[in-house]
Amino acid sequence: MLEPDAKGSIHLADNLDVLACLPSASVDLIYIDPPFNTGRVQRRTQLRTVRSDTGDRIGFQGRRYASLVIGRRSFGDEFDDYLAFLEPRLVEAHRVLAAHGSLYFHVDYREVHYCKILLDGIFGREKFLNEIIWAYDYGGRPRRRWPAKHDNILFYVKDIEGYVFNQEAIERIPYMAPGLVGPEKAARGKLPTDTWWHTIVPTNSAEKTGYPTQKPLGILRRIIQASSLPGALVLDFFAGSGTTGAAALELGRRFLLVDNNPEALAVMAQRFDGVEGITWAGFDPTPYQKDRTTAAPVLGSGTNGGMQTARANVHLPQRLPG
């Protein structure tokens, strides 16, 4: 799994294979942000069989039948397929979580209801603590409905009696109307609620890796600070650009990241360039890293260190689902 003195490990693999190898109750915190489209879209044709003297199918007692197409389902099947893809992975996620562990499941408004029902079935409805709304304000505005400018993060715990939640470690935020609370309270700020205002990763920021579905470090920092202790093991098995690992490293947690896309691993190779104590499985990061031995800052956690520049043979995808 992870060597005792390792800071993190990064795997190029199907996450189900990696999950199956992890010991039960070995992970302290899981954050995942699965893609919506698994690329396994099924288009199922619905048929009805009717008696017909000219039919091409022969049934009981030599009677002939024809098949009539009565419909084609694609959206529903695509969705069933998505849940069928997620379910075994979420069952494993529940198994590998320690008793004090938590799962944060990042999704959007189109799927959140279905995913909540799936997760309620796996964790138990009473283990659901919050639906966090991450609100941002970016991108196009359709004219014929309210522009959708939020994501949903479902927060579950394994054991309602003994989970980690460090309220005092959570960074406080400014009051919306500081004039109403007095100078002392205003200076201290307030704890965030279940609605988090946070920009998306700005296009020309040091944090930007070029991975299309990259989530902001600020969101991951808040999750990791609240729901794990220093030294904890944080797992993200839909790792993408490695945001969870970058936040974990910054906060003194260990991480285990999995992605099955080599482009994601190439981005992570750059992001963690110069950080010692990371092991790689199924992927050689060195062609994407500078040849040096001194530790460099992780992209987005201070100075850039030039990591935004794509190097040797890194071909970043233009768009990823999710």
Ligand X SMILES: C[S@@+](CC[C@H](N)C(=O)[O-])C[C@H]1O[C@@H](n2cnc3c(N)ncnc32)[C@H](O)[C@@H]1O
Smaller CB separation from ligand X, 157 or 239: 239
Structural tokens at position 286: 């060195």
**CB 229 to ligand X: min, Å:** 22
100 or 270: whose CB is closer to ligand X? 270
State the minimum distance, in angstroms, from the CB of residue 239 to ligand X. 6
Rule CB under 6 A: say whether 205 interacts with ligand X: no
Shortest separation between residue 179's beta carbon and ligand X, angstroms: 37
In the complex, the smallest distance separating the C-beta of residue 208 from ligand X, rounded to whole angstroms, is: 11
Residue type at 223? I
Q: Which of residues 211-230 bind ligand X (CB under 6 A)?
A: 211, 213-215
Question: In this complex, which beta carbon is closest to ligand X, that of residue 92 or of residue 259?
Answer: 259
Indicate whether 254 belongs to the interface with ligand X (CB under 6 A).
no
Binding of residue 259 to ligand X (CB under 6 A): yes
- How many residues make up the chain in this entry? 322
Q: Which is nearer to ligand X, 189 or 282 (CB)?
A: 282
Q: How far apart are the first and last CA of the chain?
A: 28
| 234 beta partners | 29, 255
CA distance 296 to 307: 10
Q: Which is nearer to ligand X, 101 or 242 (CB)?
A: 242
Count of residues binding ligand X (CB under 6 A)? 20
| Residue ranges that bind ligand X, judged by CB under 6 A | 14-15, 33-35, 211, 213-215, 238, 240-241, 243, 258-261, 264, 320, 322
